[in-house]
Amino acid sequence: MLRNVQILKEFTNYLQKHDEVLMELEKATKRIKKLEIVYKEFELQRVCYLPLNTFLLKPIHRIIYYKLILGRLCKHYPADHRDYTDCKNALKEIADMTSQLQNSLIRLENFQKLIELQHDLLGADNLIAPGREFIREGCLYKLTKKGLQQRMFFLFSDTLLYTSKGVTGTNQFKIRGHLPLHGMLVEESENEWSVPHCFTIYSAQKTVVVAASTRLQMEKWLEDLNMAIEMAKKTVEKSGMFLENSLSNRSNRSSDEVSLEQESEEDIHSSRSSLDRQSHHRANTTIHVCWYRNTSVSMTDHSVAVENQLSGYLLRKFKNSNGWQKLWVVFTNFCLFFYKTHQDDYPLASLPLIGYIINMPTEEDGIQKDYVFKLQFKSHVYFFRAESKYTFERWVEVIKRATSSPGRSNILTTKDEKERNIN
């Protein structure tokens, strides 16, 4: 094990340049039509259950996973175990690697997210800009002339975009406006508008009133918006204006005027489309899941999810069924993927867990088995049974960590504690 970890170190230089590889691939798909067709055709295959560029990040994610496994082994082995010293040395080697790759990983994950959004958003051809960082995406309800209308918002380090559900065959999201963060101000405004979880965004161009689905969601948006506004104050770059030409022309409003956009019949119809209408764009990507679950996901959440992936056999039971079905389950990218066996090339189905809560079965559930956990979103309920106490605890731990979505300040504290434990 120690020998293999030392061999892995030879790949550090390659992995540090991995973002350059992804950038060249993205440029090539735009330049070479045949490559673009091959790329899209491959993503349509069932074996490609995640966007292709997500798979290309797996080599670095695997190294992080090795560090976590070795950390658990070191805690499991007593100091006098014959493998303890090698395990401890291997952990030190892999921790050094992940430390060297940390900046590369941050750049890669940000770049991958920008590519994904560029494909999903109509009118954002130049989303990948120097210095731009993705911060949060999610559903908010925007005040319009017809009342509160569902919108997807995308917060970056220099601008805030808002979109509506598109009417194209690919079910993309259409950009309806953007608000540069330079000079922006946000504040709670529940009392002013008598709308729960409501806040107002004041920008140089216009004023926008939005409402979140819960108090917690509003607090997360406000925390990230204020953090991003402070970041924008400290930078001299004005790259937030790049989208001006790709948006439909709208007259600038005074800063104290609320944006009350007109909703077209076409937009109203498209907003009622279901998850089943996804074609090339998968229903389990975070952008679509956030839309249908009325929630949001941050870049911090994505980083936590990378460290909380798991696979193994579980027994699954639906709320109104009697039998249990044994499946090979892979948890990655906030989603459970179900296979008949671990040898299958592609999943039978998937279950995005954003918005789900993990609990133990109650007496009313009537589950008379050990090592069972319950996943629930509104009326959707699933039961999963592990084969041992250890695997049960691992599944519960990993799913809780990946889906609990802590605030930015909480996650920074947790990371500091982890680093102290390793050192």
Would the CA dihedral through 149, 150, 152, 155 be positive or negative? Answer: positive
- Tell me the CB-side half-sphere exposure of residue 3, using CA atoms within 13 A: 0
Give, for 316, the enclosing helix (H) or strand (E). strand 310-318
Give the Å distances, CA to CA, from 286 to 43, 144, 248, 291, 297: 17, 25, 26, 8, 7
| CB distance 154 to 172 below 8 Å | no
Query: SS3 for 109-131, per residue?
Result: HHHHHHHHHHHHEECCCCCCCCC
Domains 1-122 and 309-407 share a fold: no
Whether the full predicted model's pTM is greater than 0.85, yes or no, is no
Lowest mean pLDDT among 24-38, 269-283, 346-360: 269-283
Are residues 374 and 359 in contact, defined by beta-carbon separation less than 8 angstroms? Answer: yes
Each residue's pLDDT tens digit, 247-302: 333 333 332 233 333 333 333 333 333 333 334 445 668 999 999 999 999 999 99
Residue 286 · residue 154 · CB < 8 Å: no
Is 373 within 8 Å of 396 (Cβ atoms)?
yes
In terms of Cβ atoms closer than 10 Å to its own Cβ (0-12, 13-18, 19+), residue 247 is: middle
Of 2.30.29.30, 3.40.50.300, 3.30.160.100, 1.20.1250.20, the CATH number of 134-237 is 2.30.29.30
What pLDDT band is residue 53 in, cutting at 50, 70 and 90? confident
| Contact between 382 and 316 (Cβ < 8 Å) | yes
- pLDDT score of 409 more than 50: no
| Mean pLDDT, residues 107-116 | 90
pLDDT at 325: 96
Per-residue confidence at 413, pLDDT binned at 50, 70, 90? very low
Where exactly are the structural domains of the chain?
Answer: 1-122, 134-237, 309-407
Query: Residue 123's pLDDT is what?
Result: 83
Looking at the predicted structure, is the pLDDT value of residue 418 above 90? Answer: no
So what's the pLDDT on residue 350?
A: 93
- What is the share, in percent, of the chain residues with pLDDT greater than 90? 51
Task: Judge contact between 200 and 207, C-beta under 8 A.
Answer: yes
- Looking at residue 1, what is its pLDDT? 72
Selected residue with higher pLDDT from 155 and 251 = 155
Angstrom distances, CA of residue 48 to CA of 30, 65, 251: 20, 21, 43
Where is average pLDDT lowest: 101-105, 324-328, 359-363, 398-402? 101-105
CATH of 1-122, one of 3.40.718.10, 2.40.40.20, 2.60.120.10, 1.20.900.10: 1.20.900.10
* Residue 79 identity: A
Architecture, CATH, for domain 309-407: Roll (2.30)
Q: What is the mean pLDDT of the chain?
A: 83
Tens of pLDDT, residue by residue over 115-130, are 889 888 888 778 888 8
- What average pLDDT does this structure show over 364-381? 94
Percent of the chain with pLDDT strictly greater than 70 = 83
Adjacency order of strands within the sheet including 380-385: 349-352, 335-339, 325-332, 310-318, 380-385, 372-377, 357-359
**What confidence score (pLDDT) does residue 167 get?**
59
Which spans in 249-383 are helix H?
265-270, 286-293, 299-306
Residue with tokens 């175990």: 81
At residue 326, the 3 state secondary structure works out as strand
Element housing 106 (H / E): helix 84-120
Query: End-to-end distance of the chain based on CA atoms, in angstroms?
Result: 20
**Nearest-angstrom CA–CA distance, 208 and 260:** 8
Lowest mean pLDDT segment, chosen from 264-268, 311-315, 376-380, 385-389: 264-268
Rg (CA), the chain: 23
Locus of tokens 């074996």: 47
